[in-house]
Structure 1
Amino acid sequence: MFPKKTLLSSAAIVAVTLLMSSCSAGGGSEGGSPAQSPESPVSVNIEPAGGTGVNPTTPIVVKVSNGKLTDVTVTNAVKGTTVSGQLSADGLSWTSTEPLGYGSTYKVVAQAVGGNGKPIEQHSQLSTLSPRLQASPDLVPAPAAVASTGVGVGQPIVFSFSEPVKNRAEVEKRLSVESTPRQEGSWYWMDDQHVHYRPKVYWQPGTVLKVTAKVYGADFGNGVYGATDRTETYKVHDSWIARADGNTEQMQIFHNGRSVKSMPISMGKDSTPTHAGPHVVSDKQESTVMDSCTYGLCPPAPGAYRTTEKWAVRISNDGEFVHENPASVGAQGSANVSHGCINLNAANAEWFFHTMGLGDVVEVTNSGGPQLPVWDVYGDWSKSWQDWRSGSAIK
């Protein structure tokens, strides 16, 4: 018979062995980490974690460990409005689903319950940045103006920002043109407020263009931030291309690649030649006053003029139109006598006015004039594709 003290020591050894077995058997998860205990405290994490100057597009994310979220409320401290959000199916996270406002303070209240059934509540507060100025992404042409007619195959897409853009690459990354069918295209910055998009070659007739600017929250530089996002859709109508030749003094009109009309013309005389290269229709007026004073030639200077012309189709901002001119009918088809416009007789001018629309193309050759500058409204097609792509801020 063993001594009593020895028996007690053996029992203690057995008890310790059983305890160790029960802790190791089934007590850990895959990888050897211990399972969460119902008695472990709930932990709630809220990001961004307070502070000021938060970008309003930064989502608020609430996560919980050793428990589940039961409710999250994000409230504008001044307006009292709440921010929409989505709770994950497993109850472990909540993410805001709408942007915040500029210069605003938000209060976050997160409620959760632990494995032991005990509820907790976590609070946080954050403030968003306040821009010095906000820049609006205006579109040219205005989508409403061409909703029923569509645009021509030469129409560039233009964003005109209400404030200068210093961080061009940052803003350009947030701009997109999705074409259906797909066509290669690129952006070109004309200046700090205007960026144009055109394809490598003219748009295909019937193309649908989805244009997007996700610039809300974008840092334009110098304290300027994007005012709002914008998405618009354009449709490209049939192909209408006019080809004006200074050698033949004729202009041929092509519809979807087929010649449908030819008309005698008179282009700019030697002292005021019409710009060469592709022009794009940017405006139409049944009648308009043409005044040489608009480019510095005012009476009593020789050659100064001020006349009202009919069926005026603008093809550049340099005062170039396709329009009726009764005074040059005798020269149309034989000599260039205009101040830079393409002159037509009454019947041809009216037909051209009603046929050609915004974004349609007038290609000028053998005019004796310089190439239309890229910055002259829609001089976009004067650049080779390689040169055009070099105008992008993203290298």
Structure 2
Amino acid sequence: MFPKKTFLSVAGILAATLLVSACSSGGDTTGGSAAPVTPGGTSQAATAATVSIDPANASGISPTTPIVVKAANGKLTDVTVTNSKGKSVAGKLATDGSSWTTTEVLGYGGTYKVVAHAQGADGKQVEKDGDVTTVSPKKQANANLIPAPSAVKSTGVGVGQPIVFSFGVAVKNKAAVEKALSVQSSPKQDGSWYWMDDKNVHYRPKEYWQPNTTLTVTAKIYGVDFGNGVFGAEDRTETYKVHDSWIAKADGNTEQMQIFHNGSMVKTMPISMGKDATPTHLGPHVISFKQANYTMDSCTYGVCPPDPKAYRSDEKFSERISNDGEFVHENPNSVGQQGSSNVSHGCINLNAANAEWFFQNFGLGDVVEVTNSGGPQLPVWDLYGDWSKSWTDWQKGSAL
């Protein structure tokens, strides 16, 4: 029989042995060893890389949507995107190898093959394939500019000139298209867009352009959904230069037209405006066309014989100030009434010397302001009635 003290020591040894066994077993009943553990407690077991493509196996996307390839638990080693003809699309790999993005736009109606490889932390390489198909438009719309930049490259435009985009097709998604349009003015001046109809949108500043302003006009419409299956054909950027300020003020009460150059009056001319049956429209007019010898035909705006308002005549030094037959031009037949009464079909008549002077100094975008003519306000849609709207009302014509 052991002494009592010895018995307690053995019991303590047994208890300690059982405690160590319980703490070190880890629940492993197979007898296998556990994975190594780092001092921080994280498993050192390597993980395989995963690769994702965005958009993944997509169809009908905009050609401006970038293709983005990403790697997780590893780095991309190479990515290729090719069209149906095997031509590669340019792209850029992130410095850390985590992503790759196309750097050029795609084409309409194309299918692009994406092949990506990545190497994981386990040292093994994985591959990811995918296809991306771009939308096929029913029709493409061009951003046609008025005035044509080539037509005013040497002369510039006047301070009243609106910038016009004419798309040739109806635009359903006006807000999306308007967001793609911009006019940058230097010096900076506030401006806004106004949709005249479904095909034409105009841009004008709050006040007349400042002389010598540079306008950079951009339409980033490629890939933009116009609605009804129509998409933008191509982007476009053009530059306009605003020349000196030329503003003519024609008064039906005095039958005189005062000419202002950069704010200073430089000349006064006797005039004859539209008679009571065909009064000249009120308000600011903008010159949209000029020709030294021009046949004026009222049939061009729907007034044809036997209508008593119809006319057809050959005139000199003609400058159009609206689309319904209003011009500033020479008229030798009304010289006796110029300065005293209104006898025209709506035009502003001048004598030969004044008409030639006006023709030499006024051009596209210059302004003719008409007061006291007895006529109605020039409609906003009557090229160019843009200045007939207050700034508040003009802004309401924007789709944004």
Q: TM-score, normalised by structure 1?
A: 0.90
The equivalent residue for 1:57 is: 64
Is the contact between residue 50 and residue 126 of structure 2 (CA under 8 Å) also seen in structure 1? no
The equivalent residue for 1:251 is: 257
Q: CA deviation at 1:179?
A: 1.5
Unaligned runs of 5+ in 1: 29-33
2:370 is paired with a residue whose SS is: strand
Q: What does residue range 190-201 of structure 1 map to in structure 2 within 5 Å?
A: 190-201=196-207
Q: What does residue range 125-164 of structure 1 map to in structure 2 within 5 Å?
A: 125-164=131-170
The equivalent residue for 1:112 is: 118
Measure the CA separation in 2 of the matches of 1:6 and 1:387: 92
One-letter code of the match for 1:61? V
The equivalent residue for 1:25 is: 39
2:51 is the counterpart of 1:44: yes
The equivalent residue for 2:393 is: 387
1:60-89, CA deviations, whole angstroms, 9 ceiling, x for partnerless residues?
000011221122111111x32221111111
1:191-233, CA deviations, whole angstroms, 9 ceiling, x for partnerless residues?
0000111111111112222222222222211111111222222
Residues 328 and 151 (structure 1 numbering): CA distance in 2 closer, same or farther, change over 3 Å? same
Is the contact between residue 312 and residue 324 of structure 1 (CA under 8 Å) also seen in structure 2? yes
1:260-299, CA deviations, whole angstroms, 9 ceiling, x for partnerless residues?
1111111111111111100001011111101233344444
The equivalent residue for 1:31 is: none
The equivalent residue for 1:368 is: 374
Measure the CA separation in 1 of the matches of 2:16 and 2:307: 128
The equivalent residue for 1:180 is: 186
One-letter code of the match for 2:111? T
Q: TM-score, normalised by structure 2?
A: 0.89
Is the contact between residue 301 and residue 323 of structure 2 (CA under 8 Å) also seen in structure 1? no
Measure the CA separation in 1 of the matches of 2:245 and 2:188: 17
Q: What does residue range 309-324 of structure 1 map to in structure 2 within 5 Å?
A: 309-324=315-330
Measure the CA separation in 2 of the matches of 1:41 and 1:268: 85
1:23 is paired with a residue whose SS is: coil
Q: CA deviation at 1:10?
A: 4.8
One-letter code of the match for 2:354? N
Measure the CA separation in 2 of the matches of 1:44 and 1:300: 77
Is the contact between residue 70 and residue 111 of structure 1 (CA under 8 Å) also seen in structure 2? yes
One-letter code of the match for 1:197? Y
The equivalent residue for 1:378 is: 384
* Aligned with residue 66 of structure 1, among 65, 70, 73: 73
One-letter code of the match for 2:58? G
Residues 296 and 173 (structure 1 numbering): CA distance in 2 closer, same or farther, change over 3 Å? closer
One-letter code of the match for 1:93? S
Measure the CA separation in 1 of the matches of 2:129 and 2:247: 64
Who wins on radius of gyration, i.e. which is larger? Answer: 2
2:375 is paired with a residue whose SS is: coil
Unaligned runs of 5+ in 2: 1-8, 27-32
* Aligned with residue 290 of structure 1, among 293, 296, 299: 296
Measure the CA separation in 1 of the matches of 2:45 and 2:100: 22
Residues 155 and 115 (structure 1 numbering): CA distance in 2 closer, same or farther, change over 3 Å? same
Residues 242 and 217 (structure 1 numbering): CA distance in 2 closer, same or farther, change over 3 Å? same
Aligned length: 383
Q: CA deviation at 1:353?
A: 0.8
Deviates more, 1:311-320 or 1:114-123: 114-123
